[in-house]
Structure 1
Amino acid sequence: MKRSPTPRPGIYDLYWYFASERQAAFERRVANQAAPWTEDPILQEYKFCNVYRAADRVSQYLIRHVAYHEESCSPEDRLFQIVAFRTFSKIETWRTLRQLLGHYPTLDDLASGAFTEALNQTKQLNGGLYTGAFILCATNAYGQSAKHLNHVELFRHMFLHDDLAGQLLRATSLKEVYVLLHGYPLMGDFMSYQTSIDLNYSSLLDFSENEFTQAGPGSLRGIKKCFTDLGDYSPEDVILWMVDRQGDEFERLGLPFGGLWGRPLHAIDCQGLFCETDKYCREAVPELASARKRIKARFSVAHEPMTLFFPPKWNVNAALPDGPVLGSAPASMQTTLF
């Protein structure tokens, strides 16, 4: 029998407290209540991602305007679009690309060089193509001097040479999707996992998010803070252990948590919560040292409205409030509503 992880007293409970209070703040903001949306001074002062990854602004844009846009395109084109969008993870980049091309990027654009030219122009116009949310492999794996040109060659390798789209459409599990992506240069552990989740948001793939997970660097720091010993569990086992225990732990601690309009936490969310708990502990428990000692980004209220939309197969959209959410973060920020 496997030895279970040993929670660190107090810190393990902070994980569940953070999930409850951060989600409550999100719900109050969605309801267009007046700020502040929480009485927690740390949550008031610093910027934290949403409890549910799919609720963050960039993921929201990807779901509505990439995975489920209504412009006619082939399944192969759409899979390319999702991978390309997540690589840059910057809404302004995608908007400018579409404007320059006159349509969503297609594999024909990739083959003809039109995508490359539009990307070059986008860099000149916007001054940058990438978000700072993810640390990307920046080697010249394809012999190009510019990072974005190496990524173009990566896309060509994936979709034109290897027919990755066809392989993804034939995949039988989320892990297989991850393995397919992870086999390419510039696709590290975490980026391959994040992109797998994005592809799975679409109607073209439909695997359980609890079938497979991958702990990112921030998640590993959070796991180390929340547990004194992992027993016989891997970090990925611990994430799935949290998925299984969520109902009991919220009840044990008397913490309200209704999920995402009834949708419970999934592995991608529990993985992200470890990262956010690590950040929260830098202020709440500074004596619990780690490689990072402070939270860099502070919270500030912005006012660009956004209408929430989740993958229709989740069956939560009918329960969403009508109209836009006011006071959400600008498109350049990676968090959605906080």
Structure 2
Amino acid sequence: MSLKKKQQLGLYEEPNLSAAYTPPTHLLPIRVSAAYDTYWRFAVERQNVFFRRLSNDQMPWSTDPIISLHKFTNAYRASDRVSQYLIRHVIYRDDLPKTVVEVFFRTLLFKFFNKIETWELLQNSLGEITFENYLFENYDKVLSQAMLERKRIYSAAYIMPPGGSAFGHKLKHQNHLRLLELMMHDGVPQTLTGLTRMQSAFELLRSYPTIGDFLAYQFVTDINYSEITNFSEMDFVIPGPGARDGIRKCFSDMGGLNEAEIIRLMVDNQDQEFERLGLDFKSLWGRKLQLIDCQNLFCEVDKYSRVAHPEIAGISGRIRIKQKFSPSGKISAPWYPPKWGINEKISDEFQTIKVGEKIKAKKRN
């Protein structure tokens, strides 16, 4: 009987992965819960789903009922749909100016809303999205009209503070446009090019109204996909609210480490932990999990554990996963920042996949 049918008949029970769990002792004095091993298993299976979809495998892409039913981001942040759109269609555009100023303007404009539909609305309404042609009145008109039509212009992935106390406008998007204007006026794009540490860039962004720790870290990661900066994703990490919840669930005692140090521990120990659990983790064409990825994985394992480990309390007290997985079919070959040096490997692999699909099609005919 299919998983969907079991749900319809009320026969499906969510698994409890904590039963008879014996915690490992190799991290003492750090103490972990059953969710710690789940973290690594989730990373492997979510990455497997990514590669199965890329290979055009038929559904279901996972035998894990929780992953099959609920929506989770990818193991690698840059593989997610919105990040891929940002990299391909906002940052690396052959038809738009590639100057530091213009790339920064496009990147922050996109990220303030973090919604593909909003970017495309602006693009379709205003033509080329450039700082050179930017006018507050034009952008405000398009976005205000969208709101009057009850369209959502902001993503629900994270909350942008309204900014009214800093910039004085009634509507949130108006304040965010003014914030972007202020950053452009202050020469933030040019300042970023002279910075050598991700933390310095984070502190620069953090100094602006409405941008807190979590947003500053997310924005600097997105800017770093471009050629404006060239920080290692291993330089610096800031745990967001969801990650802190996930850390609390995975660790019953952090042994004196803070949350950022715990995330670095995960990155440093990933090979050993996959080996300890007998897991085969397929990396991103040789690129291991970075700090931003392990931070994000804690967010996802927090959600996963609400079902898999309901007895393990986090910080927020949430007990359900809101979003269900709604498959959109095959996904296209991913494309990452060229400076990572993996796009050539992806191209070669997908050429092999295409040849294999042609051979299979000939045999069927």
Question: Match for 1:301 among 323, 327, 350?
Answer: 327
Cα RMSD after superposing both structures:
1.9
Query: Which of 277, 295, 305 is the equivalent residue of 1:281?
Result: 305
Structure 2 contact 31–255 (Cα < 8 Å) conserved: no
Task: Name which of 68, 75, 79 aligns with 1:55.
Answer: 79
Shift of 1:125: 5.8
Q: Secondary structure at the match of 1:228?
A: strand
Residue identity matched to 1:83: L
Cα deviation for residue 100 of structure 1 reads 1.7
Structure 1 Cα separation of the partners of residues 92 and 29 of structure 2: 40
CA distance in 1, matches of 2:171, 2:146: 14
State the alpha-carbon separation in 2 of the partners of residues 7 and 221 from structure 1: 16
Name the counterpart of 1:80: 105
2 CA distance for matches of 1:243 and 1:191?
Answer: 22
Structure 2 CA distance for partners of 1:4 and 1:142, relative to 1, 3 Å: farther
- State the TM-score, normalizing by the size of structure 1: 0.90
CA distance in 2 between partners of 1:287 and 1:21 (Å) = 23
Asked if 1:264 corresponds to 2:292, the answer is no
State the distance in 1 between where 2:309 and 2:76 align: 24
Pairing 1:40-119 to 2, within 5 Å after superposition: 40-73=64-97, 74-110=99-135, 113-119=137-143
Moved more, 211-220 or 306-315: 306-315
Q: Which amino acid aligns with 2:76?
A: Y
Worse-superposed segment, 75-84 or 297-306: 297-306
Contact kept in structure 2, 1:4 and 1:230, CA below 8 Å: no
Please say if 1:149 is aligned against 2:177. Answer: no
Shift of 1:304: 7.2
Distance in 2 between the 1:194 and 1:126 partners? Answer: 27
2:254 to 224, 227, 230: 230
Give the alignment of 1:298-337 within 5 angstroms.
Answer: 298-303=324-329, 305-320=331-346, 321-322=349-350
In 2, distance between residues paired with 1:305 and 1:258?
Answer: 18
Q: Matched residue of 1:201: which SS?
A: coil
Q: Deviations over 1:282-312 (max 9, x none)?
A: 1111111232111001112224754411111
Q: d(CA) in 2 for partners of 1:302 and 1:317?
A: 23
| Equivalent position amino acid for 2:115 in 1 | K
TM-score between both structures, scaled by the size of structure 2: 0.83
Name the aligned partner's letter for residue 34 of structure 2.
G
Structure 1 residue 139: deviation in Å? 3.8
Cα deviation for residue 120 of structure 1 reads 3.3
- CA positional deviation for 1:216: 0.3
Within the candidate set 246, 254, 273, 1:249 is matched to: 273
Q: Aligned to 2:328, what secondary structure does the other structure show?
A: coil
Q: Is the 8 A contact 2:48 2:282 kept in 1?
A: no
Instruction: Quote the residue 2:15 is aligned against.
Output: none
Report the more deviating stretch, 94-103 or 303-312.
303-312
For 2:202 and 2:263, locate their aligned partners in 1 and report how far apart those are by CA, in whole Å.
17
- In structure 2, what residue type is equivalent to 1:235? E
Taking a change above 3 Å as real, the CA distance of residues 4 and 126 of structure 1, as seen in their structure-2 partners, is: farther
Counterpart-to-counterpart distance in 2, 1:187 and 1:12: 31
Partner letter of residue 172 of structure 1? Answer: T
For the pair shown, the structure with the greater C-alpha radius of gyration is 2
C-alpha displacement at 1:4, in angstroms? 6.7
Q: CA deviation at 1:322?
A: 3.4
Matched-pair contact (CA < 8 Å) for 2:71–2:324: yes
Aligned residues: 320
Residue 232 of structure 2 is matched in structure 1 by 208
**2: CA distance, partners of 1:277 / 1:147:** 31
Q: 1:305 to 1:21 in 2, by over 3 A?
A: closer
- Structure 2 gaps, min length 5: 1-26, 354-365
- Provide the residue aligned with 1:220 in structure 2: 244
Partner of 2:56: 32
Q: Which has the higher contact order (CA 8 A, sep 6+)?
A: 1
Judge conservation of contact 2:226–2:337 (CA < 8 Å) in 1: yes
CA distance in 2, matches of 1:145, 1:19: 42
Question: Which secondary structure state, in structure 1, belongs to the residue aligned with residue 252 of structure 2?
Answer: strand
- Checking the alignment, whether the CA contact within 8 Å between 2:56 and 2:330 is kept in structure 1 is no
Q: Counterpart in 1 of 2:207?
A: 183
- 2:216 corresponds, among 192, 215, 222, to 192
Which consecutive residues of structure 1, in runs of 5 or more, have no partner in the other structure? 326-338
